[in-house]
Structure 1
């Protein structure tokens, strides 16, 4: 089955236009048509709730929910109303807006383990900031990433470990090492092998399954004992473990 047989002629044409102008055909790696079956990548027209429609008029349940960021569904009335209200007040000022103060206060009240908050534009910026802070705080160069988790950042410290490593110096790639999820012994061996060099351990605390009993507490103890920072990437889990 191809795009024509499925009824995606406009999506096919739109994908061709995208590839003519945008490297990879998308501005976000996970949205690329190479992440879908060949010739079966719809181009979206609009969405409402849990559904989206492509430019050919087909309706889908969007399981990915905007890469998990649209947790209330597309075009939720309260969200769109709040956005419209703020647009009428202006945006992108040269000084912080009172909305930033209120958002920070609400965030800290919601996440009691947080002492301060720095909002970021995307997940890559957030994880890279955490890595940079860990390196600054520890004075160490290496980053240990969980080998079983597929994505942490588009920045050099992570993307250099993937097939998309072109343009990243080998010396940078060598500073990133990997540990397996759920295996405290292997992680301790890694930290011992690079004793005094690892700035942080970074992982998703949970994915489609719960973490093994005692695993996260064990990582906390290992990180403390070896003097490195423990970073939870909770772009998807949403502060359930931090």
Structure 2
């Protein structure tokens, strides 16, 4: 990997971008059902320049930072009445008003984000500590932190598609990469880039009419790596191991 701003050789971010692109271009996540507007006086705008960095990203004291996770958020005017009060109560999990996106928080700072749309689903964060699942995706992994993204490779929902992309990402670093006491990279290191493989089992649930499921690991060029991994039918769904061979993405095929 090159410098922190060059992701073209990142073995985790690039597969995640492929899955994210499908989700974005197809519009898999629905638009918020409600939009919350806020207004600012001209004095507020000037005063915001003097606020501490801890007021990021809205620089609006009193504005609940979690509100845009629930509803859409818009600015009505920058030359009008001062920002009003917002009558909202924080919840755990924080759930979008479409019901598709959830943020689980904890005092131990072991949070989790879930995505649960028809064509893209994900478990991102402290998957093991939370033990959550979404409509068609569950995981039992050994990693403390991971990003698991499952997306349909055609226009059909995950429950009925014949091809899916599964991205399994965890930590990544260059050989010889070093960190300082503040948690910043003191030395970028060099090749080869190293990944922490996501290990454990993935379970695909509620696959309509499925008679067989197989996962094929992909190499850095997106080509097959080894023989397909045959999933086992269980009471929970179709379960298969991940982590061997080491990879960050798989093509999953479903027979009907």
TM range (shorter): under 0.3
Using CA pairs below 8 Å that are at least 6 residues apart, which structure has the higher relative contact order?
2
Alignment TM-score, normalising by the size of structure 1: 0.27
Which of the two has greater strand per residue? Answer: 2
Alignment TM-score, normalising by the size of structure 2: 0.26
